[in-house]
Amino acid sequence: MNMLQRTLIIVGLIFGSATYLWVPPTAAIVGFMQQPRIVPATRSISARELWRAHSPYLTIDEIGSGKGIVFSPDLSEPGNREFYRALGFAYFEDPDWRVVLEQIKAYNATHSRNRIETLLVLSHGTNGDALKLQSGSRQDAPRSYIAPAALQENLEGTGIRYCLLAACNAGRLFRPENYLNVRADAGNRLFEAPTLGIINATADFNPAKSSITLARRAESHLEVINECNLSELSPETIAELTQGGEGGLTAASRIAVPEMLMQLLLKDDELRLVLWGSEIEKSRAETIDKVRESRITNFLNLVDSLSRQK
């Protein structure tokens, strides 16, 4: 499948390069909202620190060890759930954030030997105003929103350390005015009816003391999810991935593979991640087709190389 034939699911504009860092003070949450502290730069974090992995991978199901993925249903593909579980990921896909959060808590409570340490969130960013999960774009579609701080608060005590936001305008999600609460009245055309509700942080939650670290891409970027066919993998790999499954994954299955995930798995030095820092402006910058296709090929080759049956 060449790049022109691929369906690209646009997650959206992801943050711009931040010149200043907003850091919540360690005092009460009231102070956090009243006078944000401005410092010269964001704090960088190594992708290797955030995405700890077996080095090298030995088997296919080691790829997702200690990792979880949250997909908005309308950004997913039919083969996603079984494919990512076959790679060893904990996989969550639902339009209701409350359901997803309960599933994450239950997973880590029952998988003590392979708890999720890093969670990758593939949701809509709602122009940087909120993290949105939905089943479709209809006004009455199942849909819910959560504020970044509320995500931190609800993941407390689960064992998760890092949460990587791969959502539209993620840098804007860190703005003080909407970090704690979803602004439903901001006049955002992408904010559709919250048919399944909104989750905000509680009044006494202090993000500065949270055990959950939120991270994002450093520069402005259109975050893209690429559609691939399982048939692009070798027959041996397909046989291993489909063996012992629920029967829903076949050689004809389609899967959605986020560009950021590919960069993490391939240890791409061009992926720069940061903590904190907010952004105001939007950007339409994106990876050129030639580079994106090369990453897809390298990702598929990585999965093929780990097949036990090759």
DSSP string, 184-242: TTS--TT----TT-EE---TT--GGG-SPEEEEESS-EEEEEEEEEGGGS-HHHHHHHH
C-alpha separations of 124 from 53, 133, 161, 172, 206 in Å: 26, 7, 22, 13, 25
Instruction: Give residue 182's pLDDT band: very low, low, confident or very high (50, 70, 90).
Output: very high
- Per DSSP, the three-state class of 64 is coil
**The pLDDT of residue 233 is above 80:** yes
> Which amino acid appears at position 108 of this protein?
N
- Per DSSP, the three-state class of 121 is strand
**The pLDDT of residue 21 is above 60:** no
Which of 34 and 234 is assigned the larger pLDDT? 234
Q: Are 180 and 201 in contact (CB under 8 A)?
A: yes
**The pLDDT of residue 41 is above 50:** no
**The pLDDT of residue 287 is above 80:** no
Instruction: Give residue 5's pLDDT band: very low, low, confident or very high (50, 70, 90).
Output: low
pTM of the model: 0.86
Q: Alpha-carbon Rg of the chain, whole angstroms?
A: 19
pLDDT, average across residues 31-54: 65
Average pLDDT of the chain is: 84
Instruction: Give residue 8's pLDDT band: very low, low, confident or very high (50, 70, 90).
Output: low
Instruction: Give residue 18's pLDDT band: very low, low, confident or very high (50, 70, 90).
Output: very low
Residue 285 pLDDT: 62
Residue 1 pLDDT: 66
